Amino acid sequence: MQSSPIKIHEEFNLTSLGIPADVYKQQNLSLESDRFITIKESTPDGKTFFNIVDVSQGFKLQKKPLKADAILMHPSKPIISMRTGGDQSSSGVQIVDLSKKEVLRELTIPEQIQYWTWVNETIIGMVGTKTIYHIDVTTKPYSAGASTIFRKSEDIERVAAQILSYAVDSSGKWCVLFGIYSVSKALHGMIQLYSVEQQASQTLEGFVPHFADVALVDPGYVNTVLAFVGKKPSESTWNFLILEVGKPIDQAQKIKKKQLFQTAPDANVSDIPILSYVSEKYCLAFIISRSSYLYVHEMFTGSMIHRGRMSSDMIVSCCKHSGTDGMMCVNRKGAVIYVSIDESTIVNYIQTKCPHIPDAAGVAFKIAQAGSLPGAEQLFSSLFNKYFSEQDYTNAAKTAAKAPGGMLRTAETIAKFKNAPKVPGNKSQPLLQYFSYFLESNVKLNAIETMELVRPILAQGRKDLVETWVKGDKIECTSELGELVRPHDRALAAIIFKNAGSTEMTVQLMVEAGQFDQIRSYCTATGYQPNYLKILKGVLDSGLSDRAVELGKMLCSRGPDGQSSPAVPLNTVFDLFIQYNRVTELTSIMLDALKSNRPEDGPAQTKLLELCISRDPNLATSILQSRNFSYFDKPKIARACEQMGLLGYALENYTELADIRRVIVNTHMLNKDQLISFLCSLEAEKAKICLADMIRASPHNVTIPAEAAVKMTESGSIQPEEIVKIFESLGSIDGVFYYLRNIVSNTDDPEIVFKYIEATTKLGHLNDLEAIIRTNQVYDPEKVKDFLMEIKLPNPKALIFLCDANGYIEEMTKYLYKNNFINYVGTYLTNVNPQAAPKVMAALIDMECEESTIRNYLANIRMCPLDQLVEAFESRNRLRMLQGWLEARASEGNQSTELHTALAKIYVDTNKDADNFLVNNAFYDPKVVGKYCEEREPLKAYLAYKKGGPSCDMELIEVTNKNMLYKLQASYLVERKDPELWKVVLDEENPHRKRLIEQIVQTALPDTNNADEVAVTVKAFADAGLHHELIEILDKIVLHRTDFAKCNNLKTMLILTAIKSEPSRVMDYVNRLEDYNAPKLAQKAIEHGLYEEAFAMYVKVGNNDEAVNILLTHLKDLARAQTFAEKIGQPALWSRLGQALSLIHICRCRRIERCRSRWSPYH
C-alpha cells in the first residue's frame, strides 16, 4: 500500500528535558491522556523522582521527590494518585488534588497492585493479584475503601498473565482485562470480558482489546463494540474482530465482524500486538505491535487500510491525541510521536487504493460522513438527491448536515425543502423536518438557514425560542438577524450583534439597555472606539441620572486591574457634569474613578474634595476619613477644611508647624480620636511642642493631652520621662497622673512608677495609690516607703501594703505607733497578715507599748509562726506575757512543738506544776527544754531529757554527771536497756564510772523488778569486763531476792562469772543454787581446771557418766571412781570403770615391755 493517509511525526523528545534515556520503560512510564506524561526515575544514590511533563504547557517539566512506588496523573485535571507497595499482601493509595492541596482519597488495597489506570474522569481501575477494584474519587468520606468489581478468571490466574491493560466501556456495564503469558518462549494473549449486569466473565484468546462507541450500522445510532486481535495458541493466523457488547439497533443486526489480521512481511514471527486505540470520530482502529509496527483497520468491515513500522524503537505507551483523534505515543528513546490521519486524502485513498475492502466506496463514504471529511462530495450529492427523491426528508437532512464543507447547506437546498410536497401521513412540513434534524442533532444552522427559520418564529411571537437557540449556539448570529430581532427584544438583539461582531450596533444597544459594565471590555476586546463623550451627553440630555452615573463610571474606569487609562479624561467628565449641575452624580463617578489612588489623579482628587467641602461637608469628611486619597493638594484642602470648621482634617493636611499650632489648641472643636491620631503622626519634637500648647490652652482639661501622650508613648515616638517633664514643667500634676495611670502597668522603669505614686499621693487619690502599691513590682520599695513615711498620709493603708509586701514590718509598726495609727496595727494583724505577728510584737515591745495593748492584739490572732513569736518574746525576757495566749491555743488542741516548748519554759520559771508537765506532756521539745533547765533546775532538765528518750541520752548523761546525779543516771540506764549506751558509760575512760557503778550495784538493780532490765545490765557489765562488780550484783539479786531466785539465766551467769573471776566461790554457788545450766557450766569449769566443781555439778544433776569421766580422766582417782560406782550402783558405771581398768592394764604391759627392751643383752 502506497501513499498512506496515515501521518506519523516526532513532536518532541523527553531526553531534552534532562530525563535519562534508560528510564522509558513500561513499568516506569504512565500515559493516561495527551496532557500529562509521568516517568519514574531512580538516581545512583538511591533516591526516586517522578518527572511530570505537562504536554499542554509546552512539555513543561516538574520533578517531584515522592515517597511512592508509582504515580498516576488524572487525564485532564491536576490530580495525582500515589501508590506504595506496603507488604506483599497490600498496597496503599493516596489521591491528591494539587490545585486545591486536598486529599481526595486515602485507603489500603488488600492485595499487591499489578496494574492501574483511570477508566474515566472519576474512577481508577486497579488490578490486584486476584481481584479488580474501582476507586471513585468523588466518594465520601475520603478514607472509604475501594469497590470490588470482579475476580480474575481461573485461566488468567493459571497462566500468571502479565497485565497490560484494563478498560471499562462508556456505560460502565462492561469491563475488559488483557494480559500476555509465555509458553515455550512464545507469547500469547488472554482477554477476560466481564459483564457487570450479569456478573459473568468470558475468556477470549487474543490481544489489545478496546471499547468504542461508533455508528457502524446507522449514522444516527451509536454501537458499543469491543475491538481486538484474536489468535489462539494452536493457530498460526491472526484475526481482527469487532464484537458488539452494547444494545444493538436491531438484534438481527448485532455486530460481529472478523477480518484477517496480516502482520507485516518483515516483522518478526514472535511479534505481537501490545497497544491499541479506536478513533470514534473516524471509525478507525490503531494497533501497535511490540516491534513498533502500526496497523490501521476501518471499523465498518474490519479491513486493514495501513501497516508499516512507525519507529525503530519499541513503543512503550500510547493514548488518544485529542486534537486529531489519533494517537500520542512514547518510545524507548523518549520520543513523543503523533499518529493521525490525513483528512484530505483518506477518503480518496480508500476508494482508489483499497480494492480488498468490500464496498470500498461505501466505506469511504461512511468515514467521510463520520468525520465530515472532503473527497466524497459527489457521493454526498448523489445520496442527498436519492433520499430527496424518495421523500425521505430526514435522511436527506442528515446527508446535508454530514456533507463536507456545508456543500449542501445552501439557499437552493432550503428552497428545495420549502417547495417539496408534504409526505402523506406526516404532519410536518419538509422544511420543518430539515430544521428539526439540525436542532435536535446539535448541528448549528448557518446564516441562510437561521434567517429562514427565525422569520416565521418571530412572526408567531415565539422570541423565547430564538433566545434559547442563541444561547445554545444552535443558530448563526449575523447583523441581519440582529436587525430582525431588535424590534422584538433589544437585549437579545444586542447579544446577537455582539456574537455577529457588529460592534457599533452592539454598543448602541448596550447603551439603550443600560449594560454599561460590558461596553468598555467589549470595545477593548473588539478594538472598536466609539465617541463616548457624545454618548454621555445624550444620556445626560435624556435625564436618565442612574444611567448617566453608570456610563460615567464606565468611562472613567481604569479596568479590573486598575492599570488602564480612562476612556474619557476625568477633567472632561468633571466639567461636563458640573455644566449639567449634577454634583451628586459627579461625586459618585469620581469616587469610583479615583479609588485606585494614583499620583496622576492628584488634581482630580483636589477638585473633588473642594467641591465636597463646599457643597457636602459630611461627604468630604467621609472621603478624608477613608484615607483613599493621597495625592491632592494638602495645604489647599487644609485651608478649605479650616474655613468650614473641619479642624481635624485641617490638622491632618497642614504641613507648617505654625498652622498646626494655631488649630490644635481648639480642642473643644476637635474629635478626640482624630486629634490623638494626628499627634501620634507628628515628629517627636513637633508633637512635644503641640502637647505643651494644648496643656497651656486648657490647664484644667488635660485628659486629651494625657491620652495623646499615652498613644505617643505606645508608638515609641516619645519616652515617658520626656512626657512627665513636659507636664511637670507646666505644673500639671493632673496631667502626670492621667498620663502615667495608663502606662504604669507596662513600664519597667522604677522612676516612672515612683512619679505616678508621687502624683497619686499629692492629688489624694489614695485608692489608686493602694492599687499601684499592691499590683506593681517595678518601683523601688525603699524609696517609696521613705516617701510615704515622710509625707504622712492621713490613711496609712498604702504604706501598710507596701511594708507588708516588702518585709518592712518593724519599721511600719514603729511608724504607726509613733504617728498615732495604733489601731491600724490591730487591723493589719487581723485582716492583712497575721503571720507578721512576731515582728509586730517585737517592735511594740521595743517601743515599750503597754502590755494590755499587746495582749489585746494577741487575743485576735490564732495562727502565726509560733517559733518566731516565742523567740520575739523570749529574746526580750517577756515570755511570760505569752502564757495566756499559749494556754488558749493549747486548749484548742494545738499540738505545735514550739507552743508546748514555750509553755514548758514558762512553767519551769514559774514552778507551776512543772514536773508534772515535763513528765506527762508529749508535745514540747525535750532537748530544748532540758537545755533551758540545766542552769535553772538540773532535776527538771533530767526529767525533760528523760522524756526525750534516745534522742537525749547524751544530754541526760552529761547533766547527771555534771550535777552528780548518779543515782538518777543509774536508774535511767537500767530502764533504757540500751547496750550501746551502756558501752559509753562503762567505758574505762569515763571518770564517773566508779560512782555510777556503785549506784547501779547498790540501788538501781536491787530496786528493779524487771528481768529484762537486769539481763541487759548484767550483759553490759560482762561485756565491759566488770566481773567482780557483776558477782556482787548477781549475788545480791540471786541469793538475797526471792523474785529473782528462780531466774535460771541469772544463776548460770553468777556461776559462770565466778568461774572466770573468783574460782573460790564457785563450789559454794554450786551447792547453794539449783536449776542452773549444769552441763554448760561444768564444761566451762573443766576449761578453767575446776574439776571438783565440775564433778559436783554433774553429780547434782545426776549425770553420773560425766561425773565418773571427770574422776577417771581429769582427777585420775581410780579408787574414788570405784567407790562412786559402788555408791551409785549403775551397771553402766561399772562398764565404764572396767574399760578404764583394761586401759590401765594395757598401758602397764606396754610400759613393762618397753622397760625390758631397754635392758636387752644386745644393749
| pLDDT at residue 690 greater than cutoff 90 | no
Q: Degrees (nearest 5) of the Cα angle 808, 810, 811?
A: 65
Which long-range CB contacts under 8 A does 671-675 form with residues at least 24 apart?
672/704, 672/707, 674/648, 674/649, 675/648, 675/651, 675/704, 675/708
Average pLDDT in the 822-833 region?
85
Average pLDDT in the 25-35 region?
93
Q: 0.85 cut: is pTM over it? A: no
More confident residue, 170 or 649: 170
pLDDT digits (tens, 9 = 90+) for 727-782: 888 888 888 888 888 888 888 889 988 888 888 998 888 898 888 888 888 889 99
Pairing label, strands 200-214, 186-195: antiparallel
pLDDT digits (tens, 9 = 90+) for 227-279: 999 999 888 889 999 999 988 877 767 888 888 888 888 888 889 999 999 99
| pLDDT at residue 76 greater than cutoff 70 | yes
Give the DSSP H/E element, type plus range, for residue 1129: none
Question: Which three three-digit cell numbers place residue 775?
Answer: 499590683
Average pLDDT in the 136-156 region?
89
Q: Degrees (nearest 5) of the Cα angle 84, 85, 89?
A: 135
pLDDT digits (tens, 9 = 90+) for 477-529: 998 988 898 888 888 888 888 888 888 787 777 777 777 767 777 777 777 77
- For residue 132, the cross-strand partners are 127, 150
Average pLDDT in the 1005-1031 region?
78
| 560: confidence class by pLDDT, cuts 50, 70, 90 | low
Question: Which three three-digit cell numbers place residue 299?
Answer: 471499523
The span from the CA of 353 to the CA of 5, in Å, is 10
| 319: confidence class by pLDDT, cuts 50, 70, 90 | very high
pLDDT of residue 1154: 62
Which long-range CB contacts under 8 A does 394-403 form with residues at least 24 apart?
394/433, 394/437, 396/434, 397/433, 397/434, 397/437, 397/438, 398/219, 398/220, 398/437, 398/441, 399/369, 400/434, 401/437, 401/438, 401/441, 401/443, 402/219, 402/368, 402/369, 402/372, 403/377
What is the CB neighbour count within 10 angstroms for residue 127?
A: 22
pLDDT digits (tens, 9 = 90+) for 966-985: 898 888 888 888 899 898 88
The span from the CA of 366 to the CA of 372, in Å, is 9
Instruction: Please state which of the ranges 40-44, 294-298, 828-832 shows the lowest mean pLDDT.
Output: 828-832
Report DSSP letters for 620-644, one per residue. HHHHHHHT---SS-HHHHHHHHHHT
pLDDT of residue 376: 66
Highest mean pLDDT out of 192-196, 621-625, 908-912, 996-1000: 192-196
Nearest to 887 by CA among 912, 915, 919: 912
Instruction: Please state which of the ranges 19-33, 59-73, 698-712, 718-732 shows the lowest mean pLDDT.
Output: 698-712
pLDDT of residue 1158: 57
Q: pLDDT above 70 covers what percent of the chain?
A: 95
Which residues make Cβ contacts (< 8 Å) with residue 663, sequence separation at least 6? Answer: 642, 647, 650, 651, 654
pLDDT of residue 1: 42
Side-chain-side CA neighbours of 147 within 13 Å: the count stands at: 12
Average pLDDT in the 656-667 region?
80
Average pLDDT in the 797-810 region?
88
| pLDDT at residue 556 greater than cutoff 60 | yes
| pLDDT at residue 301 greater than cutoff 80 | yes
Q: Which residue has the cell 515535763?
A: 918
The answer to whether the CB of 910 falls within 8 A of the CB of 884 is no
| pLDDT at residue 132 greater than cutoff 90 | yes
| 12: confidence class by pLDDT, cuts 50, 70, 90 | very high
Q: pLDDT above 90 covers what percent of the chain?
A: 25
Average pLDDT in the 1127-1138 region?
77
pLDDT of residue 161: 95
Average pLDDT in the 640-659 region?
80
Biggest CA–CA distance in the chain, Å, is: 190
Q: What is the DSSP letter of 829?
A: I
| pLDDT at residue 360 greater than cutoff 50 | yes
| 1117: confidence class by pLDDT, cuts 50, 70, 90 | confident
pLDDT of residue 1039: 67
| pLDDT at residue 1163 greater than cutoff 50 | no
pLDDT digits (tens, 9 = 90+) for 579-605: 878 888 778 778 877 787 888 888 887
- For residue 458, the cross-strand partners are none
More confident residue, 665 or 347: 347
pLDDT of residue 197: 94
| 295: confidence class by pLDDT, cuts 50, 70, 90 | very high
Average pLDDT in the 833-843 region?
86
| 53: confidence class by pLDDT, cuts 50, 70, 90 | very high
pLDDT of residue 716: 81
Question: Which three three-digit cell numbers place residue 778?
Answer: 517595678
Nearest to 1112 by CA among 1139, 1088, 1082: 1139
| pLDDT at residue 330 greater than cutoff 70 | yes
The span from the CA of 432 to the CA of 447, in Å, is 17
Instruction: Please state which of the ranges 123-137, 156-170, 535-549, 1112-1126 shows the lowest mean pLDDT.
Output: 535-549
| 437: confidence class by pLDDT, cuts 50, 70, 90 | confident
Mean pLDDT of the chain: 85
The span from the CA of 474 to the CA of 496, in Å, is 12
pLDDT of residue 623: 82
Instruction: Please state which of the ranges 104-113, 338-347, 430-439 shows the lowest mean pLDDT.
Output: 430-439
Question: Which three three-digit cell numbers place residue 89?
Answer: 499482601
The answer to whether the CB of 168 falls within 8 A of the CB of 120 is yes
pLDDT digits (tens, 9 = 90+) for 159-188: 999 999 999 999 999 999 999 999 988 999
pLDDT of residue 1125: 77
pLDDT of residue 252: 65
| pLDDT at residue 145 greater than cutoff 80 | yes
- For residue 168, the cross-strand partners are 175
pLDDT of residue 1040: 61
Highest mean pLDDT out of 315-319, 743-747, 840-844: 315-319
Average pLDDT in the 57-81 region?
93
| pLDDT at residue 2 greater than cutoff 60 | no
pLDDT of residue 846: 84
Type of residue at 770: E
Instruction: Please state which of the ranges 456-460, 570-574, 755-759 shows the lowest mean pLDDT.
Output: 570-574
Question: Which three three-digit cell numbers place residue 676?
Answer: 490623638
